[in-house]
Amino acid sequence: MNTKTLGYTTMIVSAALMGCVGLFARNINTSGDVIAFTRMTVGAICIFALMYHQGKIHLIKATKLSPTVVLSGACLGLCLAAYVSSTQYTTLANAVFLIYTGPVFSTILAAVFLKEKISALTGGLLTAVFIGCLFIIGIISYDATSGLTMSLSFSKETFIGDMLGLASGFGYGLYLFFSRYRTDVSSDSRSFFNFTSGALAIAVCFMINPPSLAEMDASSWVWLLAMGFFIGFGALTLLTIAAKHLKAAELACVSYLETVVGAGIGIAMFGESLTVLQTIGGILVIGGGMGEIVISMAKKRASMKNASVNG
Protein backbone atom coordinates (compact mmCIF):
# COMPACT_ATOMS: atom_id res chain seq x y z
CA MET A 1 0.00 0.00 0.00
CA ASN A 2 1.53 3.32 -1.07
CA THR A 3 1.53 6.35 1.21
CA LYS A 4 -1.37 8.15 -0.51
CA THR A 5 -3.57 5.06 -0.37
CA LEU A 6 -2.74 4.61 3.31
CA GLY A 7 -3.48 8.29 3.96
CA TYR A 8 -6.86 8.24 2.22
CA THR A 9 -7.85 4.89 3.78
CA THR A 10 -7.11 5.99 7.33
CA MET A 11 -8.76 9.39 6.78
CA ILE A 12 -11.92 7.80 5.37
CA VAL A 13 -12.24 5.50 8.40
CA SER A 14 -11.49 8.43 10.74
CA ALA A 15 -14.17 10.61 9.10
CA ALA A 16 -16.65 7.71 9.20
CA LEU A 17 -16.02 7.27 12.93
CA MET A 18 -16.52 11.01 13.51
CA GLY A 19 -19.81 10.75 11.63
CA CYS A 20 -21.00 8.36 14.36
CA VAL A 21 -20.94 11.07 17.07
CA GLY A 22 -24.73 11.43 16.95
CA LEU A 23 -25.24 7.67 17.29
CA PHE A 24 -23.18 7.58 20.48
CA ALA A 25 -24.63 10.84 21.86
CA ARG A 26 -28.21 9.62 21.60
CA ASN A 27 -27.40 6.56 23.67
CA ILE A 28 -25.79 8.50 26.54
CA ASN A 29 -28.09 9.97 29.18
CA THR A 30 -26.21 13.16 29.90
CA SER A 31 -25.61 16.57 28.37
CA GLY A 32 -23.48 17.24 25.30
CA ASP A 33 -20.83 19.13 27.26
CA VAL A 34 -20.08 16.06 29.41
CA ILE A 35 -19.75 13.92 26.29
CA ALA A 36 -17.53 16.52 24.60
CA PHE A 37 -15.39 16.85 27.74
CA THR A 38 -14.81 13.09 27.70
CA ARG A 39 -13.90 13.23 24.01
CA MET A 40 -11.40 16.07 24.50
CA THR A 41 -9.86 14.52 27.62
CA VAL A 42 -9.38 11.15 25.94
CA GLY A 43 -7.92 12.96 22.94
CA ALA A 44 -5.39 14.80 25.11
CA ILE A 45 -4.37 11.60 26.91
CA CYS A 46 -4.04 9.67 23.64
CA ILE A 47 -1.98 12.28 21.81
CA PHE A 48 0.29 12.62 24.86
CA ALA A 49 0.73 8.83 24.96
CA LEU A 50 1.53 8.72 21.25
CA MET A 51 4.07 11.54 21.55
CA TYR A 52 5.64 9.86 24.57
CA HIS A 53 5.91 6.58 22.64
CA GLN A 54 7.49 8.43 19.69
CA GLY A 55 9.89 10.38 21.90
CA LYS A 56 8.32 13.75 21.05
CA ILE A 57 7.46 15.04 24.52
CA HIS A 58 10.19 17.66 24.12
CA LEU A 59 8.01 19.32 21.44
CA ILE A 60 5.32 20.02 24.04
CA LYS A 61 7.87 21.48 26.46
CA ALA A 62 9.42 23.61 23.72
CA THR A 63 6.09 25.12 22.60
CA LYS A 64 5.56 28.68 23.74
CA LEU A 65 1.88 29.12 24.50
CA SER A 66 0.13 32.16 23.07
CA PRO A 67 -3.50 33.37 23.19
CA THR A 68 -4.27 32.01 19.71
CA VAL A 69 -3.01 28.52 20.58
CA VAL A 70 -5.22 28.43 23.69
CA LEU A 71 -8.20 30.05 21.95
CA SER A 72 -8.12 27.63 19.02
CA GLY A 73 -8.35 24.69 21.42
CA ALA A 74 -11.04 26.34 23.55
CA CYS A 75 -13.15 27.02 20.45
CA LEU A 76 -12.69 23.42 19.33
CA GLY A 77 -13.91 22.09 22.67
CA LEU A 78 -16.90 24.43 22.86
CA CYS A 79 -17.87 23.80 19.24
CA LEU A 80 -17.80 20.06 19.87
CA ALA A 81 -19.99 20.52 22.98
CA ALA A 82 -22.49 22.52 20.92
CA TYR A 83 -22.40 19.95 18.12
CA VAL A 84 -22.98 16.94 20.40
CA SER A 85 -25.82 18.82 22.12
CA SER A 86 -27.25 19.66 18.69
CA THR A 87 -27.48 15.97 17.76
CA GLN A 88 -29.71 15.48 20.82
CA TYR A 89 -32.19 18.20 19.82
CA THR A 90 -32.40 18.12 16.03
CA THR A 91 -31.89 15.64 13.21
CA LEU A 92 -28.39 14.26 12.78
CA ALA A 93 -28.37 15.62 9.22
CA ASN A 94 -29.12 19.18 10.38
CA ALA A 95 -26.47 18.98 13.12
CA VAL A 96 -23.68 17.69 10.88
CA PHE A 97 -24.51 19.98 7.95
CA LEU A 98 -24.56 23.06 10.19
CA ILE A 99 -21.21 22.41 11.88
CA TYR A 100 -19.65 22.26 8.43
CA THR A 101 -20.50 25.92 7.87
CA GLY A 102 -17.28 26.42 9.88
CA PRO A 103 -14.92 26.86 6.89
CA VAL A 104 -17.19 29.60 5.56
CA PHE A 105 -17.23 31.49 8.87
CA SER A 106 -13.42 31.15 8.90
CA THR A 107 -13.21 32.73 5.43
CA ILE A 108 -15.38 35.65 6.54
CA LEU A 109 -13.29 36.19 9.69
CA ALA A 110 -10.10 36.14 7.61
CA ALA A 111 -11.57 38.76 5.28
CA VAL A 112 -12.53 41.03 8.19
CA PHE A 113 -9.50 40.66 10.46
CA LEU A 114 -6.72 39.58 8.10
CA LYS A 115 -7.93 41.75 5.21
CA GLU A 116 -7.96 38.79 2.85
CA LYS A 117 -9.83 39.56 -0.36
CA ILE A 118 -12.95 37.57 -1.23
CA SER A 119 -13.13 36.85 -4.94
CA ALA A 120 -16.39 36.77 -6.87
CA LEU A 121 -16.23 32.96 -6.94
CA THR A 122 -15.65 32.75 -3.19
CA GLY A 123 -18.49 35.20 -2.66
CA GLY A 124 -20.75 32.93 -4.71
CA LEU A 125 -19.75 29.93 -2.60
CA LEU A 126 -20.44 31.85 0.63
CA THR A 127 -23.88 32.78 -0.72
CA ALA A 128 -24.54 29.13 -1.58
CA VAL A 129 -23.71 28.05 1.98
CA PHE A 130 -25.87 30.84 3.43
CA ILE A 131 -28.86 29.81 1.30
CA GLY A 132 -28.18 26.18 2.22
CA CYS A 133 -28.42 27.09 5.92
CA LEU A 134 -31.75 28.84 5.31
CA PHE A 135 -33.05 25.67 3.64
CA ILE A 136 -31.79 23.39 6.43
CA ILE A 137 -33.27 25.32 9.37
CA GLY A 138 -36.52 26.00 7.50
CA ILE A 139 -36.43 29.78 7.01
CA ILE A 140 -36.98 29.04 3.32
CA SER A 141 -39.54 26.28 2.88
CA TYR A 142 -41.85 24.84 0.27
CA ASP A 143 -45.27 23.26 0.20
CA ALA A 144 -47.70 22.50 -2.60
CA THR A 145 -50.23 25.12 -1.42
CA SER A 146 -48.02 28.16 -0.75
CA GLY A 147 -45.05 27.25 -2.94
CA LEU A 148 -41.64 28.65 -1.96
CA THR A 149 -41.94 30.84 1.14
CA MET A 150 -39.59 32.68 3.50
CA SER A 151 -40.44 33.13 7.15
CA LEU A 152 -38.60 33.83 10.40
CA SER A 153 -40.67 31.22 12.18
CA PHE A 154 -38.72 28.11 13.21
CA SER A 155 -39.73 24.55 13.89
CA LYS A 156 -40.38 24.25 17.63
CA GLU A 157 -39.17 20.65 17.58
CA THR A 158 -35.71 21.40 16.19
CA PHE A 159 -35.15 25.10 16.98
CA ILE A 160 -32.76 24.56 19.93
CA GLY A 161 -30.81 21.89 18.05
CA ASP A 162 -30.55 23.99 14.89
CA MET A 163 -29.30 27.02 16.83
CA LEU A 164 -26.75 24.83 18.63
CA GLY A 165 -25.72 23.48 15.21
CA LEU A 166 -25.14 27.02 13.92
CA ALA A 167 -23.22 27.84 17.11
CA SER A 168 -21.03 24.76 16.57
CA GLY A 169 -20.38 25.90 13.00
CA PHE A 170 -19.32 29.35 14.20
CA GLY A 171 -17.13 27.79 16.89
CA TYR A 172 -15.53 25.54 14.28
CA GLY A 173 -14.91 28.60 12.11
CA LEU A 174 -13.18 30.35 15.03
CA TYR A 175 -11.07 27.25 15.62
CA LEU A 176 -9.96 27.22 11.97
CA PHE A 177 -9.32 30.97 12.06
CA PHE A 178 -7.17 30.92 15.21
CA SER A 179 -5.33 27.85 13.89
CA ARG A 180 -3.94 30.01 11.10
CA TYR A 181 -1.71 31.73 13.64
CA ARG A 182 1.42 30.17 15.13
CA THR A 183 2.18 27.88 12.21
CA ASP A 184 5.53 27.23 13.90
CA VAL A 185 3.85 24.81 16.34
CA SER A 186 4.15 21.15 15.28
CA SER A 187 0.91 19.34 14.44
CA ASP A 188 1.33 16.88 17.34
CA SER A 189 1.91 19.63 19.90
CA ARG A 190 -0.96 21.70 18.52
CA SER A 191 -3.27 18.69 18.78
CA PHE A 192 -2.27 18.15 22.41
CA PHE A 193 -2.85 21.79 23.35
CA ASN A 194 -6.09 21.90 21.34
CA PHE A 195 -7.52 18.95 23.22
CA THR A 196 -6.23 20.17 26.58
CA SER A 197 -7.52 23.73 26.08
CA GLY A 198 -10.84 22.37 24.82
CA ALA A 199 -11.29 20.19 27.89
CA LEU A 200 -10.39 23.11 30.19
CA ALA A 201 -12.84 25.43 28.41
CA ILE A 202 -15.66 22.92 28.95
CA ALA A 203 -14.53 22.45 32.58
CA VAL A 204 -14.99 26.22 33.10
CA CYS A 205 -18.54 25.85 31.78
CA PHE A 206 -19.07 23.08 34.35
CA MET A 207 -18.21 25.57 37.11
CA ILE A 208 -20.91 27.93 35.85
CA ASN A 209 -23.49 25.24 35.09
CA PRO A 210 -22.61 21.97 36.87
CA PRO A 211 -23.56 18.91 34.81
CA SER A 212 -25.76 16.12 36.11
CA LEU A 213 -24.83 12.47 35.88
CA ALA A 214 -27.92 11.32 37.75
CA GLU A 215 -29.46 9.63 34.69
CA MET A 216 -26.26 7.84 33.65
CA ASP A 217 -27.05 4.13 33.78
CA ALA A 218 -24.68 1.25 33.01
CA SER A 219 -25.55 1.38 29.31
CA SER A 220 -24.75 5.11 29.14
CA TRP A 221 -21.35 4.57 30.75
CA VAL A 222 -20.54 1.82 28.26
CA TRP A 223 -21.53 4.06 25.33
CA LEU A 224 -19.55 6.99 26.80
CA LEU A 225 -16.39 4.92 27.27
CA ALA A 226 -16.84 3.35 23.84
CA MET A 227 -17.17 6.82 22.31
CA GLY A 228 -14.00 7.92 24.06
CA PHE A 229 -12.15 4.92 22.66
CA PHE A 230 -13.50 4.77 19.10
CA ILE A 231 -14.08 8.47 18.37
CA GLY A 232 -11.42 9.72 20.78
CA PHE A 233 -8.54 7.31 20.48
CA GLY A 234 -9.53 5.55 17.22
CA ALA A 235 -10.43 8.54 15.06
CA LEU A 236 -7.55 10.60 16.47
CA THR A 237 -4.95 7.89 15.86
CA LEU A 238 -6.15 7.34 12.28
CA LEU A 239 -6.22 11.09 11.67
CA THR A 240 -2.63 11.35 12.92
CA ILE A 241 -1.57 8.63 10.47
CA ALA A 242 -3.49 10.25 7.61
CA ALA A 243 -1.95 13.66 8.34
CA LYS A 244 1.51 12.22 7.69
CA HIS A 245 0.58 11.17 4.15
CA LEU A 246 -1.98 13.74 2.96
CA LYS A 247 -1.95 17.49 2.50
CA ALA A 248 -4.18 19.64 4.72
CA ALA A 249 -6.58 20.38 1.86
CA GLU A 250 -6.86 16.68 1.03
CA LEU A 251 -7.65 15.93 4.68
CA ALA A 252 -10.30 18.64 4.70
CA CYS A 253 -11.98 17.32 1.55
CA VAL A 254 -12.23 13.76 2.86
CA SER A 255 -13.52 15.02 6.22
CA TYR A 256 -16.78 16.02 4.49
CA LEU A 257 -17.58 12.30 4.39
CA GLU A 258 -18.65 12.84 8.00
CA THR A 259 -21.75 14.71 6.80
CA VAL A 260 -22.85 11.77 4.65
CA VAL A 261 -22.28 9.25 7.46
CA GLY A 262 -24.06 11.43 10.04
CA ALA A 263 -27.08 12.06 7.83
CA GLY A 264 -27.17 8.39 6.78
CA ILE A 265 -27.22 7.17 10.39
CA GLY A 266 -30.09 9.53 11.18
CA ILE A 267 -32.12 8.21 8.27
CA ALA A 268 -31.25 4.51 8.63
CA MET A 269 -31.24 4.10 12.42
CA PHE A 270 -33.53 6.82 13.75
CA GLY A 271 -36.10 7.02 10.98
CA GLU A 272 -35.29 10.68 10.26
CA SER A 273 -36.08 12.22 6.92
CA LEU A 274 -34.97 15.22 4.93
CA THR A 275 -37.20 17.42 2.83
CA VAL A 276 -36.10 18.12 -0.72
CA LEU A 277 -35.05 21.66 0.28
CA GLN A 278 -33.05 20.40 3.28
CA THR A 279 -31.26 17.93 1.03
CA ILE A 280 -30.46 20.73 -1.43
CA GLY A 281 -29.34 22.85 1.53
CA GLY A 282 -26.95 20.14 2.68
CA ILE A 283 -25.52 19.84 -0.83
CA LEU A 284 -25.04 23.63 -0.97
CA VAL A 285 -23.23 23.65 2.40
CA ILE A 286 -20.93 20.77 1.40
CA GLY A 287 -20.36 22.18 -2.09
CA GLY A 288 -19.62 25.68 -0.77
CA GLY A 289 -17.24 24.40 1.91
CA MET A 290 -15.39 22.05 -0.42
CA GLY A 291 -15.29 24.75 -3.07
CA GLU A 292 -13.28 26.92 -0.67
CA ILE A 293 -10.83 24.06 -0.15
CA VAL A 294 -10.50 23.36 -3.88
CA ILE A 295 -9.87 27.06 -4.55
CA SER A 296 -7.14 27.21 -1.91
CA MET A 297 -5.52 24.09 -3.41
CA ALA A 298 -5.61 25.64 -6.88
CA LYS A 299 -4.08 28.90 -5.62
CA LYS A 300 -1.30 27.02 -3.84
CA ARG A 301 -0.46 25.02 -6.94
CA ALA A 302 -0.50 28.13 -9.10
CA SER A 303 1.83 30.01 -6.74
CA MET A 304 4.21 27.04 -6.56
CA LYS A 305 4.20 26.77 -10.34
CA ASN A 306 4.91 30.49 -10.73
CA ALA A 307 7.71 30.26 -8.17
CA SER A 308 9.35 27.38 -10.01
CA VAL A 309 9.06 29.18 -13.36
CA ASN A 310 10.46 32.41 -11.99
CA GLY A 311 13.17 30.53 -10.12
The stretches of 179-234 forming alpha helices (DSSP H) are 187-208, 218-227
Tell me how many domains the chain contains.
1
Contact predicate 289/106, CB 8 Å: no
Cβ-in-10-Å burial (0-12, 13-18, 19+) of 168 comes to buried
What pTM was estimated for this model as a whole? 0.83
Q: What is the pLDDT along the chain (311 residues), one digit of tens a residue?
A: 678 788 888 888 988 998 999 999 999 999 999 999 998 898 888 889 988 999 999 999 999 999 999 999 999 999 999 999 999 999 999 999 899 888 788 888 888 888 888 788 878 888 888 888 888 888 788 777 777 777 766 678 889 999 999 999 999 889 888 888 887 888 788 889 989 999 999 999 999 989 888 889 999 999 998 888 888 778 877 876 786 777 766 776 778 888 889 999 999 999 998 888 889 998 988 888 777 667 766 766 777 777 666 65
Domain encompassing residue 289: 3-310
Q: 36, 49, 60: which is closest to 204 by C-alpha? A: 36
